Every structure is written in structure tokens, then in C-alpha cells.
Amino acid sequence: MSGQLTVERDGAVMTVLLDNPPYNFLTAAMMHQLHVILDGLDDEPEVRVVVLTSAVPDVFISHYDVSEILGGVESLPVQLSPRVAGAAIRALGAASHVPGAKAGLSAAGGQGVLDLREYHAVTHIMRSSDKIFIAAINGRAMGGGCELALACDIRLMADGPYEIGQPEILVGLIPGGGGTQMLPRTVGTTRALELCLDGRPLSPTEAAEIGLITRAVPPSELMSETMRLAERLARR
């Protein structure tokens, strides 16, 4: 057990369950815990497949916790233009490698940017690792949840009354967790642009048709199908 994450091992397959009921919002604490777990995979060569799923029924990840996003914005000492924001992100990125700098950046209102950088660091590990990552999407996967699934190599989703997509535009944002990069690589530029500009969520069937997920499976078979696939790929 690790805070809001549970880690299980079965041979060469590691399963990480995200557990922040009732809505399973992603938080900075959860991302930090996941970062620590994934960093530790270098010391576990026997792990060949990582399954990422949720311990909350009918919800994979609702979204990143919007209250944390708003809190980070409100803590900034000035209102940032896009140009200034870009410069600040680059400066914070460089400074974050300096010992003791993270505490200073947080105190200066840079915690939100540091949290976003950690999210990016986690998805970078997932995309570049020699482990295979499988998302077992057991319910709603919106915003940051969709992006976390996109960082996986394979995505299986329960074929129920669930939705997946990038709704950030509906609250005046753009996908900040890598969606604007990973979506075009997954479904093509035209589809990705439509999803980001419109904000309309997709059903599992629609998501499978455009390649956003690998396939939709009956809800009762999601985990058994995922584990069969994980065990098979671990032997490759």
C-alpha cells in the first residue's frame, strides 16, 4: 500500500491501482507516489508488464483535481501572459535541478508548475520504459485520466456507459498533461484537433473505432482479459 495507490505483484506483472474515491481525481500526491513507484522499476528487472487501473468502481480517473489547478493559479503573484508563462516554465524547469530550489519555487507560487512537470515526468517514464504499460480503463477517463491512459502502450476499456476524452476546452483550458502531443500520435492530427477543440467525450465503442483505445471489452471481463494479455506479453 502506498497512500492512494495499491501495488500488487503476480510474477512478471505489476498492477498499480489508483484509489481516491469517490471520483478518483488525480492529485499531486498521487502523481508523486506513482513517480516513486515507476522510478523503482529500474531495480526490478523481473517486472516486464505494468497494469494501471482503478480501485474505484466505474471510474478510471475523472480528471486531475481542478481545485489543485485553481489553487496553483491563484497562488501566482502576477497574472501570466502566454509568453511570460512559457519563460517561467523553462526557468522553473532549470531551477528545479538545483538542490533546495523546489521548496523555494513552491513558496514563490511555482508549485503548480512543479506538479505539472512531475506529471510529465511520470508519463515520460511510461512512454520510454522497456516495460509494457497496459491501462485497464474500468470507467470514466477524462482529461488527465485520458492522458494517463494515452501514456500506456495498450488501452483496454470496459464497454459500459462510460466516457473518455479531453474536456478541458469546456472550462477554458487545453490538455496540459501531454494530450496535445499524445493524441495526434495516437488518432491523427485531425481527430485530435477535433477532440481538443470540441471537448465532446467518446463512448468506449467510439474510442475503439478511432484507435483512442485498443479495444472495448465487457465490464465483467476487463481485468481477466487484461491479466491474460499482460501475462502473455510478459513471456515475449
Catalytic residue among 44, 74, 168, 194: 168
Cell numbers linked to 119:
506529471
Whose cell is 485530435? That residue is: 192
The DSSP code sequence of 19-52 is: --TTTT-B-HHHHHHHHHHHHGGGG-TT--EEEE
Number of Cβ within a 10 Å radius of residue 75: 14
Q: Strand 13-18 vs strand 215-217: parallel, antiparallel, or unpaired? A: unpaired
User: Between helices 189-198 and 179-187, what is the axis angle to 10°?
Assistant: 130
- Let me know if 194 is a catalytic residue: no
- Let me know if 147 is a catalytic residue: yes
Residues 6+ apart with CB under 8 A from 235: 12
Contact 125, 153 (CB under 8 A): no
Identity at 93, one-letter amino acid code = G
Catalytic residue among 44, 46, 147, 163: 147
Q: Estimate the share of the chain in helix, then strand, then coil, as percent rounded to the nearest 5.
A: 50, 20, 30
Number of Cβ within a 10 Å radius of residue 153: 16
Residues 6+ apart with CB under 8 A from 91: none
**Catalytic center residues:** 147, 168
